[in-house]
Structure 1
Amino acid sequence: MTTPTRATLEKALKSESKLQAAATQIANELTGGTYNIADLAEQLGFALTSPDTEQRVAGTKLLSAVLSALPGDVLSSKQLEFLTTFYTDRLRDHHNVMPAIIEGLNALVRMKQLPAESVPLLLHAFFQYTTCQSQTRGDRTKVFNMLKFLTSHCQPELVKMSGDFLYGLINSIDGERDPRNLDIIFSFMPEFISQYPLLHLAEEMFEIFACYFPIDFHPSKQDPEAITRDALAEKLTNCLVASEQFAEWTVSLAVEKLDSELLVAKLDSIELLHQAALKFKPDALEPHFAQIWQALKAETFPGSDNADVLRCALKALAELLKSAAKVPSISQNYQSTVLGVVLPHLSDVHHRLFHPATAISLMCVSGDATYAADKILNTFLLKLQAIELNLTCCEERIRFYHIIAQVYKLAALRDSLLKLDKTILLPLQDDVIQALRLCERDDFDAKQQDLELQRAALSVLCECVPVLSEEQRALIYKALVQLVSHPHIDLDFKMLTVNLGALQPVELQSNFIDICMRNFDIFSEFIKRKIYANLLPLLPQIAFTQRILDLVMRQLFTETVAEPGRLLALEALSALLNQEDQRFIVELQQQSNLLHKLIELANQTPELPLASLEMIAAALSRIMQQLPLSEQSAIVSEYLPTLQLHQTAHLYVAKGLLGYLHKDISLDDHFERLLDDLTKLSLSTDNEQLREIAHHLLCSLVNKMDNNEANRNQVKRITHQLKAAVKAGDERAVHLLAWLAKGLVVAGFEEAADIISDLTDLLEHPTLSSAAALAFDIIAAEYPELDLPVVKFLYKQKFFHTIMNKLGTKLSSYCEHHMKAFIYVLKATPHSVIRLNIKQLGPLLFKTLDAHNDAHSLCIALGICQNFVQQQDTYFQAHLGHILPSCLELSKQKTQLNMQVRIAALQLLYDITKYPTYVLLPHKVDVTLVLADALDDPKRLVRNAAVKARNAWYLVGAPSGD
């Protein structure tokens, strides 16, 4: 194949589509080496040098399109030098040719073999003969993308251009208004500014960005890829702090705009100061700190009415102080300036400046912990020494202690706690310990304020454990013993004992733990509970592990321990097992054979109360879940054959062993007996707790059963037995069928369909219809305490379609129990499935809202409607005339229905206001009038929802509300 002929090229230049197709073909031929770019330029010369402007435009456009389509490594440096000369000369051509030239330049600079000296030639010519801002938006985008590429790939060449490139770049950017182009500029300029010398043009460079600050831009709602104002503002801020030469101008700009009444201007200005603190060195900001502090003080002291402004201002101040901490002299200058203003206001908790002073003081500690903490703590020490310590007036002390605790915590986070001045810390801690020891006085009556003082003192001591003296720790141990043995006070000091144990295990052991254990048996149940609560968190510390375990085991398995004490020990064991990891539990089981001891304890005579058996079952479950499969299987084989499930203790042991048994462990050898025993128990006992255990075990058992014929036949046998009981009118058999169906449905067994069919038929039964409807709630509901590990993919969708096929034809008659059952099913059905069937289900939902006869069904129906309305579903938009009266009626039902229904109805009314205004306006007056009744509802939460909904309806159609 030869070079394209003039006739071919003339034909290609006639339309845009032909030109692009030709460019692609020519690029492929050039890549394949069929001919070279010089041959193409020669053939295209008639258009490139034509006196007709339109033909020159078309010819240049074709050449540029070819360059854009070429891979970056096809053209040689010689060819690129030739093209550079052509394009630099062509920059003086008619302005109509410029778009094509810009496209060509954009492609040219990306060529890998482009000679280094060609870059300055191209840019000098471009800046000299072209004005960027006179081009179209699309062409400016290409220019900025070209400049972005050059600044990241041609740094040496651009540095050699010195001020010429900077000046050209500034002129190209200056005046740009398009958000997309600004996004490109703001994205690459921070890196450029930080890496290139700005010479004498630093201020001009800063000013081209400062004119955009703060960003005032609202993206189009129709643009799917709109640039957000916040994203653009963030990138602009990065430009303004890209060079330390900008420090003075950045501060002046931020302070100036901080005076604005516009919230967005304030927030952007504060964020600019925050970024300046992050990017600029302390010595660059030091000359301007007084100016910055005065500006931030106006927003923090006493503080802005806007919470966001206050929070951001404190964050910026904290970063300034933190950055300054790298240079001690600068840091102390900053700290002295700030603390000199706020410390005098920390002495009076009732002064309006106390809270802002506190917030600023804590920011100081987060910056330079050692210097600021000493100053602040000394201020509190002087104040505490001047006020009397008593129980009648401790509000001020409580507030001081809370702040002191935060100061200690921040100092510890900055690794400065041990560096603080001991002459301040020790007397301050003495005061706190004295406050804690007030509980030892006879007149301490455990009023709320007295307890608050104790909690505040404990919060301080938790944080200052590493700097407590030996004498102070001794007093604390005495106070802790007093607190734990007090007959009425129940204060949480777990963190204090944990921290003391980590640093002083021997002291804590002898002064607190041994005393608690020595007198444990004579303590009341209330005190024992407190001891467990404070000792169990110490278990991970190896110094205390065995002693605490011994205490719990002794209380569990000693025959002489009375039942209340054993129940406490069981609760402690459950807490211990829940807080520890698998390794610990497995080791505990292997070392002490805990599971066997618990089973023996459950089976002892006389029989334990149900509360204790429940705790034993929970402990057994936790242990079983952590053991390897082989051990789980061995334990089941050992204990299961001996269990008689009609005995309460044995049933609870079965719950512990089988409730969370791994699904891979086969129970085929015991399956028939378990089914029979659990079924018999469920049908015969009147104890609801025992029936619930039987139901959960049956449900989990059939869910995990091996899918073989023998097991399925056993399920069918039990099902027939239950059907016979149903015919005899036994409501308990209906519930049991529901639990069997639940396990089978989740696992995807076909036998579930027969049970569901029977339950559906029962919806028309004269006496069992209500139980049958509730059966569908059992099948559909989620039970976190129920272990159903075998889950069939899309089982919820299959369950829905099964019910739809059974009940679909009967829903048109709107029988109450059919409706209720189907609503329960919809609760568990994925939203996407409901949406596909909404035309069939919509009338049912509306009829449920009109029925007003069952709060549970109403809450489900309202929740489903809300999901659709929040997505502004068109079906519900078309039926607002039905939904609105129903919701308004439900919002007024103060006697028949509970408040959850009223709140859900009001929330739905609120969500409806998100529909287009023209849809809502016909209903506005009626809705706002009826909602007035809900404003007087006796329940506060209902009134809150009513106010929210009514305000939203009032704003429908308002000038600023759409």
Structure 2
Amino acid sequence: MHKYSEMPLIFFALELKAGQFTILQLVEALGLHLTSSQPQTRARGVQLLSSVLQECHGDLTEREVEVLIVFYENRLKDHYVITPHVIQGLKALVSLKLSNLCHVVTLIDSFSHPTELKGLGADFVFGFVQSVDGERDPRNLLLAFRIAGKIVREGYDLGKFTEELFEVTSCYFPIDFSPPPNDPHGITQEELVLALRAVLTGTPRFAEFLLPLIIEKLDSDVQSAKVDSLQTLTACASVYEHKELAQFLPGLWASLRREVFQTASERVESAGLAAVGSLTACLSRSVLNSDSEDSLNVFLELVLKDCQHHLCEPDLKLVWPSAKLLQATSTASYRASHRVAAAVLPSLIEQYNSRTQVSHTIQLGRSIIVNVDESVLLDFRQSLCSVVFSALSESNADLQITSMRVLTALGQQTGLLLESDVELAVDHLTRLILEEEDPKVSLAVVECAGALARLHPAAFISKMVPRLKEEIFSEPMAQGDSATQSQEHSQQAVRQRCVAALAAVSSRPSLVQESTPVLLQVLTSAHTGMCHCHSCTSDHPLSYTSAAKCYAGLVNKSPAGEALDSLIDRMLKRISTELDSASSPVRTQAFTLLLWVSKALLLRYHPLSTALTDKLFSLLSDPELGSLAADGFSLLMSDSQDVLNRGSHADVRIMYRQRFFTENSAKLVEGFNAAVQGTKKSGYLKALSHIVNNLPRQVQLTELPALLPLLLEALSCPDQGVQVSTLSCLQPVLLDPPSTLITQLEVLVGRTLALTTSPTMKVRIASLRCIHALSRFPEHEIMPFRARVLRALAAPLDDHKRVVRSEAAVARNEWFLLGSPGGR
């Protein structure tokens, strides 16, 4: 269309309302007005479009609404004279009938100027309430709950419609929905429950309506309704303050106590205890002043009055529900734990000393003291220590485990364990390591010893480490002489427990100095073969991976010198023997050990790390291990969460990634060029993308020119993991493109556009973000690609995934506006 006067454009709009044209055809017809260099002309174009939308009562397609949303959002960045007409259009979109709720939620999700939308005032809320009232379609309800959640959380003016908004949403509470078989929409009850809960708990202004509703719904006989009500109450407590809860506390406590005392359902009990804890935490945040009542004390009085006396009657069925309620209360805050501990601990200690239900008593005591400050426990210090050491001497495994947890809790507090107490504790733990065969007890010992060793290393150095070392090397590690098989098995089990405990206590430098030589001697002992046995012959992935991590951690921390070099050399020869044999049954295990030791040496700049990483490079073309080797470079370059990190006191040098890249990038390029086309080249591309993706951005920019041909090649690699990794690496670079990239625009645009229709959603999203970033290139460089890009984006605009459509709409908008006055 050519230039239009105002009158023909109005007639055109009337024809659109009659169904003669589509809204997008109107946008196209207004093109010259919307892209005029004169703000007033652009404003008239936007005004006409918005006026048509206000009068249009027909349904818009999802694609039409998404285009309009992106258009209006962009116009908000335009001249201020256009803003009122943009708001008019947005209001028209919001006012569409409920069948268009999906469009409205798209609008609110995509809108980057909430203050403008909030400017519509309480009228928007009233219109929304009217639209939602009586809705039964779960698709629309899910969208309605999401919109209502945004309204209450983001500070929209509810005006006098607060109760109306609550009523129109709470009438669905609790959700009772069973999706029909083979439901194509895939909406679940859980989705509806969570979306509605976010609305009801989104603002304290709903408290006066919601809390009585929860008390009412807890009387229901339907278990799911009870659980939903209790979980909703828990969510409320993170938003409300004590003043919203105060008048409802007696009613809430009566309902919560009933659910925990009388329920036969673990789900209901668990949800009830969580609600008690969250209420206590909320009340603990209240600020006391001279004219306000302490709501926490009121609530705790109710709890103690109904629960404390049951603890003295352990034969009754209410002892454990009472104990659980007290535990939930005491662990919610320091203030609550102080009050509960002071009320309950004296009677518990007396009960233990009278030998009445000792296991139950100490378990309850442990749950109560976990969060209690030492100032409360100091008065009970001697009695608590006496109880713990007495329980450690018992033969009951549950009692031993619980007492160690109490001991750990006491050890965390300053001043509760004297030096003599710590030494006695270490003696007990050492005895249990050597004598106790129950695996649960052994695990509890290791955890307790590890926790206490961090705080009290001296006692472990002087007492536990020498005793464990003596036991480990007391006899030859191999089976031998006249010992029976069961004795040999028992001795081996003791040694394994000793090694596990020794590793667990090796957290402080002083302890590591004592334990590392012992552990290394165990690992390299010709008698045991422990490390190589576990990491190279176990069929269980977790076993051989854990053993490899353990070995790597020790290698990383070992002192540099001839002994370490000799150890690495022997290990590499052994691993190479397995890896070089195609028929070896333990090639994967050997590779796992190679990978973790390579990382251990790389982190500390050890000279022999090159020999190991060269072995990894050689495996990239291995038919069986090539893919594993390529993915292994991601492990080498990324941070490890459990071992080989600064938190575990590993030797980690700065800039090790850059150093590795500088020393090895040429090897990658050479290997790629020499590899046979297909899977082998794919392995090199995957390794490269993992390495580059973990480099700092400045290093990426510096090194990109040399690597660009390979990265572009990686975009054509069939491996979708390589595609995502490469696109993620390219996208930040595209935002500030070096000149080298501009010379490769033809290839870059072509290969990126091809990936927008990938079967993998992550690839589609990453490629669309790159297309978006490409729009930032100098305009004269990318204008020749504009039409091609816009044509290619038609497919992702109709993608079945909303997040893909959203990325496509944003990218298309930027490319569509190229060259226009209101564009960049």
TM-score strictly above 0.5 = yes
Match of 1:874 in 2: 662
Match of 1:747 in 2: 509
Q: Report the CA distance between 1:337 and its aligned residue.
A: 3.1
Residue identity matched to 1:723 = F
Deviation sequence 1:487-536 (CA, Å, 0-9, x none): 78546312346767745546523544323424642222332222223232
Counterpart in the other structure of 1:799: 558
Q: What's 1:959 paired with?
A: 744
1:693 matched to 2:450: no
- Relative to structure 1, the CA distance from residue 798 to residue 304 in structure 2 (aligned partners, 3 Å threshold; closer, same or farther) is same
CA distance in 1, matches of 2:594, 2:379: 44
Matches within 5 A, 1:204-223: none
The alignment status of 1:431 with 2:168, answered yes or no, reads: yes
Aligned counterparts of 1:952 and 1:339: Cα–Cα separation in 2: 34
Q: Which amino acid aligns with 1:876?
A: N
Query: How far off is 1:481 after superposition?
Result: 4.1
Counterpart of 1:179? none
Question: Displacement of 1:755 after TM fit?
Answer: 0.5
1:547 paired with 2:302, answer: yes
Larger radius of gyration: 1
Q: Secondary structure at the match of 1:345?
A: coil
Partner residue, 2:391: 643
- Could you say which residue in structure 2 is the equivalent of 1:945? 721
Q: How far apart are residue 828 of structure 1 and its match?
A: 5.9
Amino acid at match of 1:959: Q
Distance 1:346 1:464 in 2: 26
Query: How far apart, CA to CA, are the structure 2 residues paired with 1:574 and 1:309?
Result: 55
Residues 904 and 697 (structure 1 numbering): CA distance in 2 closer, same or farther, change over 3 Å? farther
By how many angstroms is 1:398 displaced?
3.6
Match of 1:833 in 2: 604
Query: CA contact under 8 A between 1:777 and 1:821: conserved in structure 2?
Result: no
Work out whether 1:810 is the aligned partner of 2:570: yes
Structure 1 position 756 matched with structure 2 position 544: no
After superposition, the Cα gap between the structure-2 partners of 1:500 and 1:622, relative to the gap in structure 1 and judged at 3 Å, is closer
Question: Which residue is 1:121 aligned to?
Answer: none
* 1:869-948 equivalent positions in 2, closer than 5 A: 873-880=661-668, 908-911=687-690, 932=718, 935=719, 944-948=720-724
Higher relative contact order (CA 8 A, sep 6+): 2
- Cα 1:464/1:617, change in 2 over 3 Å: closer
Shift of the alpha carbon at 1:819? 8.7
- The aligned residue for residue 151 of structure 2 is 407
Q: Distance in 2 between matches of 1:479 and 1:886?
A: 71
Q: Post-superposition shift, 1:847?
A: 7.8
1:421 match: 160
One-letter code of the match for 2:721?
A
Structure 1 position 379, deviation (Å): 1.8
Query: In structure 2, how many angstroms separate the alpha carbons of the residues matched to 1:546 and 1:520?
Result: 18
- Cα distance, 1:697–1:852 mapped onto 2, change above 3 Å: farther
SS at match of 1:521: helix
**Which of 341, 359, 364 matches 1:589?**
341
Q: Is 2:254 the counterpart of 1:514?
A: yes
Distance across 2 between alignment mates of 1:734 and 1:827: 26
Q: Which runs of 5+ in 1 are unaligned?
A: 1-254, 261-268, 270-284, 325-329, 783-793, 893-902, 936-943
Which structure 2 residues correspond to residues 678-757 of structure 1 after superposition, within 5 A? 678-702=429-453, 704-705=455-456, 707=458, 712=462, 715-724=465-474, 727=477, 730-732=491-493, 733-741=495-503, 743-744=505-506, 746-749=508-511, 750-757=513-520
Structure 2 unaligned spans of 5+ = 1-30, 54-59, 181-185, 284-294, 480-487, 537-542, 579-588, 640-655, 693-699, 732-739, 749-824
Residues 384 and 827 from structure 1, CA distance in 2 versus in 1: closer, same or farther, beyond 3 angstroms?
same
In structure 1, the residue matched to 2:88 is 337
| Pairing 1:653–2:391 present | no
Which residue type is aligned with residue 337 of structure 2?
A: I
Asked if structure 1 preserves the Cα contact closer than 8 Å seen for 2:148 and 2:199, the reply is yes
Superposed CA offset, 1:563-585 (max 9, x none): 9x83x7766666655542x4543
Deviation for aligned residue 1:538: 1.4
SS of structure 1 residue aligned to 2:721: helix
Q: Is the 8 A contact 2:627 2:683 kept in 1?
A: no
2:274 is matched with which residue: 510, 533, 548? Answer: 533
1:381 aligns with 2:129: yes
C-alpha distance in structure 2 between counterparts of 1:617 and 1:468, whole Å: 35
Q: Which residue of 2 aligns with 1:239?
A: none
Q: Sequence identity of aligned pairs in percent?
A: 11
Q: Hey, what's the Cα distance between the residues in 2 that align with 1:401 and 1:687?
A: 52
SS in structure 2 of the partner of residue 592 of structure 1: helix
Task: Decide which moves more: 656-665 or 844-853.
Answer: 844-853
Partner of 1:51: none
Does the 8 A contact of 1:826 with 1:834 survive in 2? no
Which AA in structure 1 matches 2:170? I
Given the superposition, is the C-alpha separation of residues 345 and 429 from structure 1 closer, same or farther in structure 2, using an over 3 Å criterion? same
Q: Displacement, 1:452?
A: 5.0
CA distance in 1, matches of 2:422, 2:452: 8
* CA-atom RMSD in angstroms: 6.3
Aligned counterparts of 1:502 and 1:622: Cα–Cα separation in 2: 22
Q: Deviations over 1:538-573 (max 9, x none)?
A: 11322534434656657777524659x83x776666
Contact 2:207-2:244 within 8 A present in 1 as well: no
Report what 1:235 is aligned to.
Answer: none
The separation in 1 between residues aligned to 2:307 and 2:48, in whole angstroms, is 61
Q: Distance in 2 between matches of 1:356 and 1:706?
A: 58
DSSP-derived class of the 2:314 partner: coil
Alpha-carbon distance, 1:669 to partner: 3.4
CA contact (8 A) 1:699 1:742 kept: yes
Task: Tell me whether 1:863 sits opposite 2:623 in the alignment.
Answer: no
Relative to structure 1, is the Cα distance of residues 297 and 548 closer, same or farther in structure 2, using a 3 angstrom cutoff? farther
C-alpha change, 1:752 and 1:906, in structure 2 (3 Å) is: farther
Task: Give the C-alpha shift of residue 692 in structure 1.
Answer: 1.5
Question: Contact conserved, 1:695 with 1:736, CA < 8 A, in 2?
Answer: no
Q: Distance in 2 between matches of 1:479 and 1:719?
A: 62
Tell me, in whole angstroms, the C-alpha distance in 1 between the residues paired with 2:111 and 2:707: 54
Does structure 1 retain, via aligned residues, the 8 Å contact 2:149–2:199? yes
The one-letter code matched in structure 1 to 2:263 is F
Deviation for aligned residue 1:637: 4.3
Quickly say closer, same or farther: Cα 1:477–1:881, change in 2 above 3 A.
Answer: same
- CA–CA separation in structure 2 for the residues paired with 1:319 and 1:953: 32
- Residues 656/311 of structure 1: CA separation in 2 closer, same or farther (3 Å cut): farther
Contact kept? 1:862, 1:908, Cα under 8 Å:
yes
TM-score by length of 1: 0.50
What is the identity, as a one-letter code, of the residue corresponding to 1:693? A
Q: Distance in 1 between matches of 2:555 and 2:377?
A: 30
Q: Relative to 1, partners in 2 of residues 1:759 and 1:696: Cα closer, same or farther, differing over 3 Å?
A: same
Once residues 298 and 396 of structure 1 are traced to their aligned partners in structure 2, the CA distance between those partners, rounded to angstroms, is 25
Q: Which residue of 1 aligns with 2:140?
A: 396
1:524 aligns to what?
264
**Distance between the aligned counterparts of 1:663 and 1:858, measured in 2?**
47
Counterpart amino acid of residue 375 in structure 1: D
Corresponding position of 1:44: none
- Equivalent residue of 1:880, what SS? helix
Aligned to 1:174: none
Task: Supply the AA of the counterpart residue of 2:131.
Answer: K
Structure 1's 483 and 547: CA in aligned 2 closer, same or farther, altered over 3 A? farther
Match of 1:493 in 2: 232
Shift of the 453–292 alpha-carbon distance from structure 1 to 2, 3 Å rule, reads same
1:217-259 Cα deviation digits (max 9, x unpaired): xxxxxxxxxxxxxxxxxxxxxxxxxxxxxxxxxxxxxx99994
